[in-house]
Amino acid sequence: MESLRVALASRSYPIHIGAGVLDRAELFTPHLRGSAAIVTNEVVAPLYLERVRAALRSTGARVVEVVVPDGEKAKGWETLNRVFDHLLQNRLGRDALIVALGGGVVGDLAGFAAATYQRGVDFIQIPTTLLAQVDSSVGGKTAINHPLGKNMIGAFHQPRAVVSDVETLDTLPDRELRAGLAEVIKHGVALDAPFVDWLETNMARLLARDREALIYAVRRSCELKAAIVAADEREASVRAHLNYGHTFGHAIEAATGFGPWLHGEAVATGMVIAAELSVRARLLKPADATRIRALVAKAGLPVRPPTLARDRWHELMSHDKKAAGGRTRFIVLEGLGRAKQMALEAALVDEAIDAAAQ
């Protein structure tokens, strides 16, 4: 097992990465003060719920469970209220520990429940998808969706620990594995050019689920993200760089009704558009945009955006949280591994979308 740390003073926490770690009760014990509530979904529950329940129970804790539907549609008020109903019916107090067992949707939903249940209780992330292991489980962003935009209602609430068991990736559908690779690629493209080189060399191993390659990709992604989060927890500055590809990605997800495109797939295409935008802003060499597009394609991810009217793109992006004072800011690249934020003209954005669509 490898462990690294997200450095946030009194809210610092460890990320444990390894094979079979979800059975290790000693990773949970330090965080249990009362009852534990496992929040998971109907796909993950048959696979891993019993093992996590057994690990928690072995510490003597009372354990209750909430199983929510699978998929992005579960990330809304209705499901959140079901979680609250269950916590209250089982009389969990302020000393409860919420355990998020699942992918990004479960982590965001359970994390937001933890952030707001009785004004905040502790929680632990046990991410079971690659996307959650490399991205959403780390950094304390929690949220639910609103019909007018993804993640519009949420909170910053750091977990007490992240326990990433790479064995759980064995049961992940290929399409979701690839969606997770989109965020891995993002970490390289936005923050670390040598990691892009490594990904170009090792993409076939990752797609073949070579365990050693996966552990390296998870660990390197977490290291890169943890450093950013430690420097800017609440996204006042550099943390925004982690949103590379996301303004366009969110627009694609919203336009298609949250579901047909997986989040990682939308981000993958968003990264291609953002690379084209960076070229048009005269910040990135065309050859680097080509490398990004090729790497996304190599991961089996979509490079072309859906066909949307220009107004619709701009309307959807104006709802994005990075919209400030009416002008949309974008994360662009001043070179591979060097993201920056800037406001850009709508015309350049239109050109970038057209270029990605070709």
Q: Which residues does the annotation mark as catalytic?
A: 119, 141, 183, 225, 235, 239, 243, 246, 250, 263
Query: How near is the Cβ of 273 to a second copy at its closest, in Å?
Result: 21
Query: How near is the Cβ of 117 to a second copy at its closest, in Å?
Result: 7
Per-residue CA distances from 74 to 36, 78, 169, 173, 295 (Å): 21, 8, 21, 19, 31
Query: How near is the Cβ of 185 to a second copy at its closest, in Å?
Result: 25
Query: How near is the Cβ of 125 to a second copy at its closest, in Å?
Result: 17
Closer Cβ to a second copy, 44 or 144, answer by number: 144
Closer Cβ to a second copy, 239 or 263, answer by number: 239
CB 187 within 8 A of CB 180: no
Q: What angle do CA 254, 258, 263 make, to 5 degrees?
A: 95
Question: How many Cα atoms occupy the beta-carbon half-sphere of 3 within 13 Å?
Answer: 11
Closer Cβ to a second copy, 234 or 304, answer by number: 234
CB 27 within 8 A of CB 42: no
Rounded CA-CA distance 4/17 in Å is 8
Query: How near is the Cβ of 155 to a second copy at its closest, in Å?
Result: 6
Among 191, 325, 349, CA closest to 270 = 349
What is the layout of strands, in order, in the sheet containing 339-343? 323-324, 327-333, 339-343
Going by their DSSP bridges, the two strands 36-41 and 63-68 should be labelled as: parallel
Tokens of residue 282, six digits:
């005269």
User: Which are the contacts of 12, defined by CB distance < 8 A and separation ≥ 6?
Assistant: 5, 6
Query: How near is the Cβ of 219 to a second copy at its closest, in Å?
Result: 27
**Residues 318, 139, 336, 252, Cα dihedral to 10°:** -30
Rounded CA-CA distance 282/278 in Å is 6
- Interface residue list for a second copy (CB under 8 A): 34, 77, 81, 84-85, 88-89, 91, 93-95, 112, 115-120, 141-143, 146, 148-149, 151-156, 234, 318-319, 321, 323-326
CB 113 within 8 A of CB 137: no
Closer Cβ to a second copy, 208 or 326, answer by number: 326
User: Which are the contacts of 357, defined by CB distance < 8 A and separation ≥ 6?
Assistant: 304, 305, 307
* Structural Rg of the chain based on CA atoms: 20
Query: How near is the Cβ of 35 to a second copy at its closest, in Å?
Result: 9
Closer Cβ to a second copy, 35 or 129, answer by number: 35
Closer Cβ to a second copy, 89 or 358, answer by number: 89
Closer Cβ to a second copy, 149 or 180, answer by number: 149
Rounded CA-CA distance 297/181 in Å is 11
